Amino acid sequence: MKPIQVFRLGQLPYGQALALQLKLRQEVYESDIPGFVLLLQHPPVITLGKRGKLEDIYNAKKLGEIGAQLFRIDRGGEATYHCPGQLIVYPILSLPRVNLGVVDLVRGLSKALAETVQGLSGLKIHYDTDLPGLWTDETPSRKMASVGMRVSSKVSTHGAAINLSSDLKPFSYFAACGMAHSPMTRLNDYGDAVDVRIFEDQFLENFQSLFEIPFVAGECTLPPSEDWIQPDLKF
């Protein structure tokens, strides 16, 4: 079996990254490769999942001031927010070829993020099945990561977003995951600041343990601007 290629892409506009996801998904459909793992960050953007609605956004003016865009996408869930300082993980994987079910992938991805957080900071976080995402083991519990995926013809897209050093204020401008005033947090509020590259290194080591197939660093050609998916709304 060929290895899973890992692309560490830095910061990409959401429309470019979404076009890349769709391109890579098509490559997995049409070949025998197991897939890809993308690590990246986005400029400010709101994404609305299948249950998301515009009524969940109640301060469009503030979102406009930070240059946020809005995309309606095909993952499950409602509204979420991406920004610099938040690490995004997009696994584009053929589930049969990596010998995983959807639940296995979601739980495995969440476990790898939780192990990385604990290993670097000592903080314990857990996956909540009722409020999908990773929450701190404290009272009151706070949400550090969102998880939302799509599986089409047994190939996954979208994934997870974990707050490392994100500005959390924009989460107050909308109902995150349908929860008004959702209690959000970030890793760097718990001890020393964690370098994104170090977090990525440790996460990849933890995530790879879920698979019998090795990860290898890869390089990809990014979609040109004319192929980017356009936002549904600019605030």
User: Which residues have CB under 8 Å from 141's CB, separation 6+?
Assistant: 135, 183
User: Which residues have CB under 8 Å from 27's CB, separation 6+?
Assistant: 33
Strand pairing category for 45-48 and 125-127:
unpaired
Q: Alpha-carbon distance 94 to 109, whole Å? A: 15
| pLDDT one-digit tens code per residue, 164-207 | 999 999 999 887 766 666 789 999 999 889 999 999 999 999 99
The residues annotated with a catalytic role in the active site are 177
The first and second tokens of residue 179, run together, are: 């929860």
Mean pLDDT of the chain: 93
Q: List the domains of the chain with CATH numbers.
A: 4-218 (3.30.930.10)
pLDDT of amino acid 234: 87
pLDDT of amino acid 177: 66
